[in-house]
Structure formats: C-alpha cells, structure tokens
Structure 1
C-alpha cells in the first residue's frame, strides 16, 4: 500500500501535480483533485499508483474545463497508458453537469439496467464560475457569489470491450440526465399545478371532496416526488372514448419534447375504465405503464385529477406522474387522507366492537398490506382481502387475492402462505406460476 491514509495520498498527489504542471492552472487543478478524491473510499484507492490517480483526475479536469450553460457532458472509455496517460482494469464513465437532485441514483439505475456493476464511484460537487461560453474561470469548494454548483461523477464499471454497447450506454445515460434535468427544473411548476388542482376542487364547495383535497395537499406537502405533469381532454373517436393530449401543458418528463404526442393524439380507454372515469370519485390513483428513469427504478405513480364542465360531466384530467416519497411509506396510516377514510369504512363494515380483539386483528392485517394497495384499491377489493386474511388465521391454507388495475394494465396478486409451508422453494414455485 503506497499511502498511509487519504491525507497522505492527497498530499502525494498534490506534489506530483506540481511536478507535472507548470502553468497558472496548477492550483486550480490541485483544488479539483483534492476534492475529487476526498470523498472516495480509501481502500479502493490505496493501491492505485500516483500516475494513475493523476491520469484519472487530469482526464476529468479536461472534460470539466468547458461546459455550456444548462448542458451535460458524458465520456465513456477504457483507459490506456499510450492513449490516455493512465490505465485501469475497468471501463470509466465521466460526467459533468449542473448539480441537481437524483443524479447519482438515476445514473446508477441505468447502469444496473444494463447488468453492469459499479466498481468505484466518486461524486464531488464544486462551486464553479464560468464565462458566457462555459469556460472555467474559477473553482471553489465552498459557496461564493456568482458561483453555481456542478456535479462531477467518476464511475468505474466492469470492463467493456463492445464499442456498440458503450455507445448505447452513453446514449441511454444522456436520456436519463435529460429526464433528471426536466423533472428537477419543472419541480416547482408541478407543485404549483397541484396547488391549482387543489383550488379548483376546493372551489366546488362539496363536503365529499374534503378527503380528496386533503390527500392532494398531503402529496404536495412532501409525500410525493413530482416527475411530470400534463393535461388531457376526454374525446370520443370511432365510438370509443379516450384521452387527447392538450399541447404545451407538459412539464418534467411529460414535456412535449420528451413524451412526444402520438400522431393521432388519441389514447383510448376501456369501457370499464371509462365507467370509473365517470364515477363520483374525483381522483384516479393508480400506476403508470412506464418505469421511472429518475430516483427509483419502479413503475411511476399516477395521480389523475378529473376535470368537469358546468354540468358536472368529466371532460378531461390533470395528470401527475411521480413517486411516493419514502415518508409516504413509513408514516402512520391514520395520517394519510383517503387511506384513513378507507380504514374507517372497513371497520364500520366489519361491525366489530371498538377496541375488541377482532378489531385489533383487523387493523393489524390492514397495516401489514402493501401501502400501494391502500393507495390504489377501492373498498370492495380491500374488504375482501382483509376479511379473507383475517379468516386465514384459523386455517392452514394458501389464498390468493386478485385486484385488477383500473385501466387494465396491471393485476395485483397478494399470496398468503402458512408460515410452516413457506420456504425458498415454495416461493420460487409461486413466482413461476404467477410471473
């Protein structure tokens, strides 16, 4: 191990940089290098030669020197001494862009989607002052007037020799960063649109809308990661009802330049979905058909706020896409509007005496259900499920509860197996049947 600790490594690197660079940029490069490696895991860097540490940081520095406003840069390469001045057994991904939320998680998600593994990750954030053309004027590790924050990522993955795959990965990472930038840039606008939707429902002055209004406010108050927004109108075409995008209403990942409008601009809905759309419930709470490229690699949550004409007919929808925040999955159920009213209805339907053992058992079952089920399911399937699970406590049997998503895109399956019969083999058999 050539270095005693991270401080000794950085000191050695600084001396080496001064021996290699004699122009005015040397102090800025040293500052860049010090911060570049200071958050790295020392055990991953300890056996790297000083030449390779210098080569890696110099390569990223050269990429960092120019960055047009609002743009991002990505470079993917296999370091070679003759070509790059340093070497590594890994493929290296270098990224430079204005700092914003979700960068590292989103890039890592996309790398993992390719079946690749991060071997090393460096993610320093710098305060930067550039000229109008994006050329670096000055660098700082602390906030300064006239400076803005920029993220730098150095990621090493298992070595890739397939040039076509590297090009494809680079294109995918640019698209992910495009989504991240759109979502974060339009975040406050999406929140404003949610405020408008809340005001419109409030102005209707209907007592039955109070819980839906409070649910939307709960989302707005930090329980939802807003990724996109768009408005749709309900139209009839060839005896079928569906949605038509209202142009120039898209925000975040639903900007018209990202989520392109179909040529016919018609998104048909099934007859069952149309019936739900025309029900009294003012909200559509379900899952989108696409997975998020931002923050978490899961199917996005879909919150639709119905739009009405003067006669009360549904004529469109304000659609929010995003992800429930982590706090939405950990807070007490009785603090969540709509969910708490569902629980109250379930208890009333059960006709159990307050504080009875059976009621406590029912509440235990409700609390053990996946939270997404409580958000999305209406009373009927929830009642069937919790009552059925309660009955299972007295029986040693397997039971499956099925719920069809409102648009028919998904089926939710909850499988209950007696503890004594559950093991890895039985789980794999169940997965093989269902998936």
Structure 2
C-alpha cells in the first residue's frame, strides 16, 4: 500500500474511533483506541470505504463488548443480524463473530463451515490481539500492537459478514457446526507436537528395527516421514493399527485407545 492510501486508512480508522467513543460503554472506552486500531489495521481502504463509519464503529464496539468476558481456554461464538435500534449498527449481511485463543486453522475452519451451509463470505476481519484478563476472565487490558507481557494471552477475534440468513432458527445449526469445528481445531493443536514426535519416533524405528522389506522401500518411507515432520504436513490425527495375518488376506485392526 502506498503512503497516501496508508494515511487515508489511518484517517478513516481515526474517524471510527471518534464515532465509537460516542456509543461505547465506560468499560469499553478504556480499551477503545488500542482495540479499534488493531481491529481494522489490516482491512483495505476500499473495504472500509464501502461501509458507513457508524456501522464500522458499531461492529467494533459490539465485538469488544462481547470480548469483555471469556472463560480461559473456551471459545465464544455468535451469529446475528445486527439492527440499529438494538445493536447500534446495521448490515445487509448476517454476522458471525468468534473470540478464541489464537491458534492455526481458525479462519480456514470457519470458512469451511460457512461454505458447507452455502453462504458467501463478503468480509473477514481477523485481528490477533494480546490481552490481559483477571482470574474470572474479565478483560483488564488490550495491549498495543507489538507490545507483549508475561501475563498476556494472545486471542484471535474473527468477524465475518456472510449472505444474510433471515431465519434465525438456522443460526443454531451453523453455530453448532462452528463450535464443533473449533473444538476439533483445539484438539488438533494440542496434539500436534505429540504427533510430530511420534512421526520422528517411527522414522527412527525404521533404522533401528526395520521391517522385512527392501532397503529401498524402508529408506523411502523414512524419508517421507522426515519430510512430513519438517513442516510439510498438517497433523490432524493419529491412530495405531495392528497388522493381522489371515489365510486369504491380511487386515488392519485398530489398537484401542491410540487415537
């Protein structure tokens, strides 16, 4: 982005902050400047100009208000059609918002859920923000971009605008799918390091205790496992199988409690 466009975007974000101060609660106002600068800093000037400043301010304040409380390690997600009288802003689209510990695959997983429900994503706002919370999960501080602290946690906030869904009954179905997907992502990220270690362990076993196969096949298998472990493969699950010999054919049997 050239300097003129960058300056113009900063001016628009400044206008959003000024507008947000008029409607935000006292608790939200204490976090407002740092939050909104980070909320919209990666959104193109073109996308910002397509929307009213009042609506951009209302969306950011609403997401901040929603983020004031969050239980540690637990995602928050909601789907709604914003209304000016109730929410302080409006949109022709349905809004999906998430607050979660920052981790890989969140945006991709959300996109897959939305696509499964045959909806198009018109805008994605995805700030990754460092915050401090008290023991009960209440927001204490929003750190400025680039700052860090030993007691801060990194949270991923996602706001997407999708094709409008008039039937609110459909919200529950999409929300259920979304929360299930977020849980799958969390489990994958928790187990990711262990799965990589297991991959290396199996690779070493091919050297120390090779199977009764040709050296060429064993070497190729080992090279593949090492390549996968070297950040070339997304580990999403692991399970062990036992090779059971049969008279007519061999079968793979799941080893219980391995995945």
Q: TM-score range by the shorter chain?
A: 0.7 to 0.9
Report the Cα offset of residue 20 of structure 1. 3.5
Render the CA deviation track for 1:270-321: whole Å, top value 9, x for unaligned: xxxxxxxxxxxxxxxxxxxxxxxxxxxxxxxxxxxxxxxxxxxxxxxxxxxx
Q: Does 1:164 align with 2:169?
A: yes
Q: Does 1:126 align with 2:135?
A: no
Q: Secondary structure at the match of 1:153?
A: strand
1:212 aligns to what?
221
Question: TM-score scaled by structure 1?
Answer: 0.53
CA contact (8 A) 2:240 2:255 kept: yes
1:148 to 144, 153, 156: 153
Render the CA deviation track for 1:204-260: whole Å, top value 9, x for unaligned: 2576122222221122122211111112334589x996544333322xxxxxxxxxx
Q: Does 1:174 align with 2:198?
A: no
1:94 to 93, 97, 101: 97
Change (3 A) 1:247 1:63: farther
- Structure with greater proportional strand content: 1
- Structure with greater proportional helix content: 2
**Residues 185-334 of structure 1: pairs in structure 2 closer than 5 A:** 185-205=190-210, 208=215, 209-234=218-243, 242-250=251-259
1:6 aligns to what?
9
Q: Secondary structure at the match of 2:72?
A: coil
CA contact (8 A) 2:126 2:158 kept: yes
1:26 aligns to what?
29
The structure having more radius of gyration, on CA atoms, is 1
CA contact (8 A) 1:17 1:30 kept: no
Of structures 1 and 2, the one scoring higher in RCO (CA 8 A, sep 6+) is 2
Report the Cα offset of residue 48 of structure 1. 2.5
1:76 aligns to what?
79
Distance 2:97 2:153 in 1: 20
Distance 2:244 2:210 in 1: 27
Report the Cα offset of residue 201 of structure 1. 1.8
Q: Does 1:109 align with 2:112?
A: yes
Distance 1:92 1:20 in 2: 20
What is the Cα-based RMSD across aligned positions, in Å? 2.3
Distance 1:246 1:214 in 2: 25
Render the CA deviation track for 1:403-423: whole Å, top value 9, x for unaligned: xxxxxxxxxxxxxxxxxxxxx
Distance 1:236 1:114 in 2: 44
Distance 1:61 1:249 in 2: 41
The structure 1 segments of at least 4 consecutive aligned residues displaced by more than 6 Å after TM superposition are none
Distance 1:184 1:126 in 2: 19
Report the Cα offset of residue 36 of structure 1. 0.8
Change (3 A) 1:22 1:179: closer
Distance 1:233 1:204 in 2: 17
